Amino acid sequence: MRKAARAAGAGLLAAFLGCGRPADLGTPPDAAVPPVADVSGQVAKTDLAGGAYGDPLPGLSANEQSRFLDGRRAFALNESNLTGLGPVFNAISCTGCHDAPPALGGTNQRVEIRFGRRNADGTFDPLTSRGGTLLHDHAIGAVAGFTYVGETVPAQANVTAGRRTQPLFGLGLVDATPDSTFRAIAAYQAARTPQLAGRAASVVDPGTGLAVVGKFGWKSQIPTLFQFSGDAALNELGITSPLFPDEVCPGGDCSLLAFNPLPAMNDPDGKDVQRFTDFMRFLGPPPPAHAGGPGAVVFESIGCAVCHLPLIVTGASSEPSFDRVAYHPYSDFLLHDMGTLGDGIVQGDARPQEMRTAPLWGLSVQGQMLHDVRATTLAAAIAAHDGQGAASRAAFAALGDADRAALLDFLGSL
Looking at residue 388, the DSSP 8-state letter turns out to be G
DSSP letters along 179-243, please? HHHHHHHHHHHHHH-GGG--B-EEEE-TTT--EEEE-BTTTT-B--HHHHHHHHIIIII----SS
Residue 233 has pLDDT above 90, yes or no: yes
In the β-sheet with 111-118, what is the strand arrangement from edge to edge?
124-125, 111-118, 159-164
Residue 11 has pLDDT above 70, yes or no: no
> Can you tell me the distance from the alpha carbon of 267 to that of 243, in angstroms, rounded to the nearest whole number?
10
Q: 3-class DSSP state for residue 175?
A: helix
Residues 6+ apart with CB under 8 A from 43: 5, 35, 36, 37, 313, 324
End-to-end CA distance of the chain: 19
Which pLDDT band, with edges at 50, 70 and 90, does 101 fall under? Answer: confident
Which pLDDT band, with edges at 50, 70 and 90, does 33 fall under? Answer: low
Q: So what's the pLDDT on residue 141? A: 98
Residue 211 has pLDDT above 90, yes or no: yes
Residue 384 has pLDDT above 50, yes or no: yes
pLDDT digits (tens, 9 = 90+) for 259-290: 999 999 999 999 999 999 999 999 999 998 76
Name the more confident of 172 and 17.
172
Report the percent of the chain where pLDDT is more than 90: 88
Q: Is 200 left (phi over 0), alpha (psi -120 to 50) or beta?
A: beta
pLDDT digits (tens, 9 = 90+) for 140-186: 999 999 999 999 999 999 999 999 999 999 999 999 999 999 999 99
Residue 22 has pLDDT above 50, yes or no: no
Q: So what's the pLDDT on residue 289? A: 77
Yes or no: say if 307 and 195 are a contact pair by the CB < 8 Å rule.
no
Average pLDDT, the chain: 92
Q: So what's the pLDDT on residue 288? A: 82
Q: So what's the pLDDT on residue 12? A: 43
Q: Which of 287-291, 316-320, 337-341, 367-371 has the lowest mean pLDDT?
A: 287-291
4 strand-pairing partners? 46
The CA radius of gyration of the chain, in Å to the nearest whole number, is 22
> Can you tell me the distance from the alpha carbon of 396 to that of 299, in angstroms, rounded to the nearest whole number?
9
Residue 4 has pLDDT above 90, yes or no: no
Q: So what's the pLDDT on residue 19? A: 35
- What pTM value is reported for the model? 0.91
Residue 100 has pLDDT above 50, yes or no: yes
Q: Which of 9-13, 229-233, 281-285 has the lowest mean pLDDT?
A: 9-13
Average pLDDT of span 94-116: 94
Q: Side chain identity at 411, as an amino acid letter? A: L
DSSP letters along 357-379, please? PPP-TTGGG-SSBSTT--BSSHH
Q: 3-class DSSP state for residue 56?
A: strand
> Can you tell me the distance from the alpha carbon of 370 to that of 382, in angstroms, rounded to the nearest whole number?
9
112 strand-pairing partners? 163
Report the percent of the chain where pLDDT is more than 70: 91
Yes or no: say if 41 and 180 are a contact pair by the CB < 8 Å rule.
no
Q: So what's the pLDDT on residue 51? A: 84
